[in-house]
Amino acid sequence: MTIVYEEVSKRFGRATVVDRLNLSVEDGEMMVLLGPSGCGKTTSLRMLAGLETASGGSIYIAGRRVNDVPPRDRDVAMVFQNYALYPHMTVEQNIGYPLLVRRAERATIRGEVGRVARMLEIDPLLERRPRELSGGERQRVALARAVIRKPAAFLMDEPLSNLDARLRLQMRGELKRLQRELGITTVYVTHDQAEAMTLAHRVAVMRGGRLEAVGTPTELYRRPANRFIAGFLGSPPMNFVPGEIRDGRFAFEGGAIALPSGQTVAAGPVVAGFRPEAARLAAPDDGAFRGTVYVTEEMGAESFVFLECAGQLVTVRAEADFQAEIGDVLGVTVPSSALHFFDAASGRAVGR
């Protein structure tokens, strides 16, 4: 079902936590709300669930305005960061709870619990209690409890952040498959850009209670609307170099790069951004500018070289077998087409 936020605000006392949020989620779409902590993403999700009341604006689920509808009548299922499993109930009772409170027949509950438990491969755990489960198992139980009925939407509040790194990767894949298979509209909150990039049909980036941008992960990655988004998506993050546009070139302390033809950026101070994977290392005299190796990180499949260039730390991706010593001087080439330009004052993307 579709979800629409229309001019939705949330104020706690004098503090505005969510400021006139406008966002619509298509039927079957996975929308990831991404942003640093305190950006209002969780509050937005809780307003959708009915756990917080909106201070202004309207929220629609499947075309129905739900501002005054209690959580239980909104027909959404939620997965919490700490899973919120009922400690005194067995796994079976936990998963069956949404059906139990809807007065389903006992036999129906049994059957449905069995079905989703098999789907999530937790059927051997049905008699256990939450405290006897590992983190990953708890996560699956929480998911099972959400999928047991066909809700209008899934709401997920950082569901993977309590798992260790390996398990997180695995569950991320399973979560994506599950969502795509069931085709249920999902709003997913996270501060982890990798989760957003991998899971989302579309990502909504929030900052300070405002929506910064909405788009597919690729759109946001390739053409970030502002410096904040550019720096937030991608790992390691985009490099930023302050300088100015002069005579069709980007000039900065370390050197200058000619703008590509067709690039129209007004002359004046800008911040140029380029991604570590777009730049190349070269001999000291061959690059657009030089840098001194600050540190290198070998990742196995690739290496990241951190260079100090005119007081700025710049990251460049290199081959896995790249070797350099701290203090070495290297050149860096950046294809001019890979440059992003941002207004020095507002941070908004300029040009192109």
Partner 1 sequence: MRRRAATFGKYALLAVFLLFFLFPLYWLVLTSVKTQAEQFASPPVWWPRSFTTDYYAGLFQSTTGWLAFNSLLVAAGSTLVALAAGTLAAYALSRFRLPWRLNQRLGHWILSTRMFPPIVSIVPLFLIMRGLDLVDTRAALVAAYSVFNLPFVVWMMKGFFDELPRELEEAALVDGDSRFGAFRRIILPLVRPGLAATAIFCMIVAWNEFLFALILTQTEGALTLPVGIANQVTQYEIRWGAMSAAGVVAMTPMFVFALAVQRHLVRGLSFGAVKG
Interface positions with partner 1 (CB under 8 A): 49-51, 70-72, 74, 76-78, 80-88, 97-98, 101-102, 130-131, 138, 145, 155
CA distance 231 to 273: 9
Question: Contact, 250 vs 259, CB < 8 A?
Answer: yes
Nearer to partner 1, 13 or 311 (CB): 13
Nearer to partner 1, 83 or 250 (CB): 83
Nearer to partner 1, 73 or 253 (CB): 73
Q: Whole-number minimum distance, CB 73 to partner 1, in Å?
A: 8
Q: Whole-number minimum distance, CB 51 to partner 1, in Å?
A: 5
Nearer to partner 1, 6 or 52 (CB): 52
Nearer to partner 1, 87 or 124 (CB): 87
The residues near 168 (Cβ < 8 Å, ≥ 6 apart) are 160, 161
Q: Whole-number minimum distance, CB 81 to partner 1, in Å?
A: 8
Q: Whole-number minimum distance, CB 270 to partner 1, in Å?
A: 46
CA distance 293 to 11: 47
Q: Whole-number minimum distance, CB 339 to partner 1, in Å?
A: 45
* Helical H segments across the chain, by residue range: 41-49, 91-100, 106-119, 135-147, 165-182, 193-199, 217-222, 227-232
What one-character-per-residue DSSP string does 193-260 give? HHHHHHH-SEEEEEETTEEEEEE-HHHHHHS-SBHHHHHHSSSSPPEEEEEEEETTEEEETTEEEEPP
Structure tokens at 280: 């190349």
Nearer to partner 1, 130 or 215 (CB): 130
Buried b vs exposed e over 129-149: b needs ≥16 C-beta within 10 Å?
bbeebeebbbbbbbbbbbbbe
Q: Whole-number minimum distance, CB 250 to partner 1, in Å?
A: 50
Nearer to partner 1, 27 or 73 (CB): 73
Q: Whole-number minimum distance, CB 82 to partner 1, in Å?
A: 6
Q: Whole-number minimum distance, CB 129 to partner 1, in Å?
A: 8
Question: Contact, 128 vs 91, CB < 8 A?
Answer: yes
Q: How far from the centroid of its chain's Cα atoms is residue 136's Cα?
A: 21
CA angle 246/315/163 to nearest 5° reads 135
Question: Contact, 271 vs 345, CB < 8 A?
Answer: no
Nearer to partner 1, 86 or 348 (CB): 86
Q: Whole-number minimum distance, CB 41 to partner 1, in Å?
A: 17
CA distance 139 to 126: 14
Nearer to partner 1, 80 or 294 (CB): 80
Which of 225, 345, 229, 334 is CA-nearest to residue 289? 334
